[in-house]
Amino acid sequence: MAYINQIKTSSNNMFCICKIKEFELRSIKSSYLKRKNSFSY
């Protein structure tokens, strides 16, 4: 039982890490696009 819970928590951690990475990538991309737009004007 504890083993199953361990797997669950580790997969949840992976999911959280993926979400955080996705958010970081999106924020980096948006800031990059903003900078690019400000350069083009």
Nearest one of 9, 29, 32 to 21, comparing CA atoms = 29
CB burial readout 2-37, b (16+ within 10 A) else e? eeeeeeeeeeeeeeeeeeeeeeeeeeeeeeeeeeee
pLDDT tens digit sequence for 20-29 = 899 999 999 9
Q: Which helix (H) or strand (E) holds 12?
A: helix 2-40
pTM assigned to the model: 0.54
Measure the CA–CA gap between 41 and 7, rounded to whole angstroms. 51
Mean pLDDT of the chain: 83
Give the pLDDT mean for 1-19: 81
